[in-house]
Amino acid sequence: MNEQPVISLKGIGEKTGKLFEKLGISTVNDLLEYYPRAYDAYEEPAAIGELKPDTIMSVYGMLYKAPDVKRYSRIQVVTATLKDITGTLQLTWYNMPYLHSVLKAGTRAVFRGRVVKKNGRLTMEQPEIFTDESYSSVIHSMQPVYGQTKGLSNKTIVKAQKQALETRQIVRDYMPADLRKKHELAEYNFAIEHIHFPKDRQELLFARKRLVFDEFFLFVLTVRQLKEKRVDKQSSYPMEMSPVVRKLVDSLPYSLTNAQQKVLEEVYKDMTEGKVMNRLIQGDVGSGKTIVAVMALLQAAYNGYQGAIMVPTEVLAKQHYESMIELFEENHIDKNVILVTGSMTAKEKRIAYEKIASHEADIIVGTHALIQEKVVYDKLALVITDEQHRFGVNQREVFSQKGGDPHVMVMSATPIPRTLAIILYGDLDISIIDELPANRLPIKNCVVDTGYRNKAYDFIKREVAAGRQAYVICPMVEASEMIEAENVIDYTKTLQTALPGIATEYLHGKMKAKEKNAIMERFAAGEIKVLVSTTVIEVGVNVPNATVMMIENAERFGLAQLHQLRGRVGRGKHQSYCIMVNCSDQDGTKERLDILNHSNDGFFIASEDLKLRGPGDIFGIRQSGDLEFKLADIFTDANILKTVSDEVDELLAEDPELTSEEHVELNKKLQIYLEKSHNKLNL
């Protein structure tokens, strides 16, 4: 029943079904696992005198007189004045002229909406209207807020979730009963229901704890089983240290840092000692991981083998490809590099596949197109995945299977504290590049409030006039009826007005791959001067000419994610700047952002973030969302992750194949999890 298509639910036709598909929801089960991104808590109505700007609040009062209706070009604006003994409040509605006849002078009601300060007075915009009775039915409840797409409102998703929960098939709990009891975990069906519609915060935390535990449990179980397969496996690709590679390092126009040299030696040792390498290289943004990868690929090539590097975006793949070609030409290196991406024509792909199969290609650079079935390698001795957090454990596994136990190197710029990295990448040895090249100018940071925006726009104008480029990051793609945050589409229009004559475009994850690539290529080429984007640019392109990173609603991002975003600038010879706009007046927000203000060290920031975020702090934006988890966050939920790691070790020591009677359901669940992860790869 839970695998039925989402269009089997009442009221969801083909058109709405397609909108759900945009959110990755095809089945009822997908819908149930599409968790809220926030919750709207309906509090007791406040007195007008207690209202705070930039917050959503409820207020009870009497309308002083009948509403006015005014027309401004195409917009009709209804305004009314609400009074109580503590003051007056203006209420404003846009394009709702019928309210003029509904609301009369003397009407008493609860109004709920966003409070803003305009021309020195408080206004509540687009408030919902409740009778005493209707408001008392939702008071103290937590209403789910989902990620939306144009044409699909929160109301529609809520309605679909309620129906899915009513009609779903109750599943047998696969978590061993003793584990549930030991860690006070909710029953699975209860957790799924109450993550969507919790009665209160306590119930929400109880449901969430169980689902987070599950996500970590299945992930860590997969990683541990991979480790078992790989322990001290003899390599089928014996290698000797190539003198050409040693010589190339010495002839680079810059000196490697001590950290780069140390990691490079660890990689060479792995590749030449006869066992299969499985190594994670963690290094802050800009620490120089790519040159380590290039030397490893050449090492494989000079031993008569092939090497391949898989990166998350086409633009980054092209950049790697072009910089390798340039480096090899300058140093008279006679190894062939080829590029494989999804957007290549069928003919281009066929030629590339032929070159790979015949070993005409020594080094292959590409996106996940490298793991498609049609790609057949000849003696693939080394596979590298760049920006590891964008590729799941299973993608890594599929890639390595292409070569019959090749050496595996994964690279990540996500600064994860070592204790957590050991759990998440338990099947890998860990190397850390913990210093930046000497010629890098530290990024200058500032945390500002919304009143600074015009100054920031002037600053961007000056940088563009000096020949530079800028990024502006917004947390959302398009406006949402429930969440107040800057969105990419509207913000781009605002900037195009504020920055006349400056080429300003937007980019977001819901765009087609072809459109995204075209925008990124134009930005990399300097045709676009200001790029307004979601966090999709956190990874994937190197634009040394970009010197300004302005982040709107900085309080909505995790610190590690903000640090990643900031790493998109500061890559060239010019001074770079990061402007973080804090749109919240909540306690503690500025202190949190100040950690970034005073440090450019990703590992320090990650560990500080870990200290700051308590187990109940789940209403911020998740920042490790690219690690295959829908709900869990490795920072907020670090304690659960550590507990899960211990439990998985104990479980596998007792029952390595999960064949005992009490683990039958868990084993089934693990197989479904692996199959789903595998299907995500379109293989």
Each residue's pLDDT tens digit, 506-560: 988 778 878 888 888 899 899 999 999 887 765 557 788 999 999 998 888 878 7
Q: Which of 373, 403, 433 is the endpoint of a domain?
A: 433
Q: Are residues 262 and 316 in the same domain?
A: yes
Cα–Cα distance for residue pair 495/184, rounded to 1 Å = 50
> For strand 363-366 and strand 306-310, is the pairing parallel, antiparallel, or unpaired?
parallel
As a whole number, mean pLDDT of residues 187-202 equals 92
Q: What is the CATH number of the domain that holds 117?
A: 2.40.50.140
Q: Which among 263, 221, 284, 537 has a CA at the least distance from the CA of 409?
A: 263
Residue 64 pLDDT more than 90? Answer: no
pLDDT for residue 550: 95
Q: Say if residue 454 is in the same domain as residue 426.
A: no
Taking CA atoms, 68 is separated from 93, 122, 124, 582, in Å, by: 10, 18, 15, 35
End-of-domain residue from the set 433, 460, 490: 433
Q: What is the mean pLDDT of residues 571-585?
A: 86
Report the number of distinct structural domains present in the chain: 3
pLDDT (0 to 100) of residue 319: 87
Mean of all residue pLDDT scores within the chain? 85
Do residues 367 and 452 both lie within one domain? no
Domain that holds residue 552: 444-599
Identify whether the C-beta of residue 393 lies closer than 8 Å to the C-beta of residue 223: yes
Average pLDDT over residues 359-382: 90
pLDDT, tens digit (0-9, with 9 covering 90-100), for 257-315? 999 999 999 999 999 998 889 898 988 777 888 999 999 999 999 999 999 999 888 88
d(CA 378, CA 359): 6
Which of 599, 616, 641 terminates a domain? The answer is 599
Secondary structure (DSSP) of 124-165: EEEEEEE-HHHHHTTTT-EEEE---BTTB-HHHHHHHHHHHH
Residue 363: predicted pLDDT: 97
Exposure of 398 by Cβ count < 10 A (0-12 exposed, 13-18 middle, 19+ buried)? buried
Query: Rounded to whole angstroms, what are the CA distances from 546 to 460, 524, 578?
Result: 11, 9, 11
Q: Is the pTM above the cut of 0.75?
A: no
On whether residue 628 sits in a domain, the answer given is: no
Same domain, yes or no: 257 and 361 = yes
pLDDT: which is higher, 625 or 455: 455
Q: Are strands 75-84 and 68-72 parallel, antiparallel or unpaired?
A: antiparallel
**Confidence class of residue 435 from pLDDT cuts 50, 70 and 90?**
confident
CA distances from 644 to 596, 658, 664 (A): 30, 16, 19
Percent of the chain with pLDDT over 70: 91
Contacts (Cβ under 8 Å, ≥6 apart) of 190:
207, 210
The pLDDT of residue 678 is: 56
Please check whether residue 645 lies inside any domain of the structure.
Answer: no
418 and 503 co-located in one domain:
no
Across 452-465, average pLDDT: 94
Reference 630, options 638, 640, 622; nearest CA is: 622
Q: 425 and 277, same structural domain?
A: yes
Of the two residues 316 and 540, the one the predictor is more confident about is 316
| Confidence band of 117 (pLDDT split at 50, 70, 90) | confident
Within a domain: 564 = yes
Is 525 inside a domain boundary? Answer: yes
CATH of the domain at 267: 3.40.50.300
Same domain for 389 and 242:
yes
- What average pLDDT score do residues 412-432 get? 81
Give the integer Cα–Cα distance in Å for 108 and 132: 9
Say which amino acid occupies 677.
S
78-82, 390-394, 584-588, 665-669: segment of lowest average pLDDT: 390-394
Residues contacting residue 625 through CB under 8 Å, at least 6 positions apart: 633
Quick check: is 670 in a domain?
Answer: no
Query: Residues 290, 314: one domain?
Result: yes
Confidence band of 388 (pLDDT split at 50, 70, 90): low
76 has pLDDT over 70: yes
Whether 680 shows a pLDDT value over 60: the answer reads no
Query: What is residue 329's predicted lDDT score, i.e. its pLDDT?
Result: 93
Write out pLDDT tens, residues 617-674: 444 444 444 456 888 888 778 889 999 999 999 998 899 888 888 898 898 888 888 7
Q: Is residue 149 part of a domain?
A: no
The tens digit of pLDDT for each residue in 556-577 reads 887 878 888 888 898 888 999 9
Per-residue pLDDT tens digits for 340-355:
988 889 999 999 999 9
The yes-or-no verdict on residue 29 having pLDDT over 50 is yes
Q: Between these two residues, 214 and 73, which has the higher pLDDT value?
A: 214
Q: What is the mean pLDDT of residues 601-609?
A: 78
467/413 same-domain check: no
Q: What is the structure's pLDDT at 65? A: 86
Residue 514: φ, ψ to 5°: -65, -45
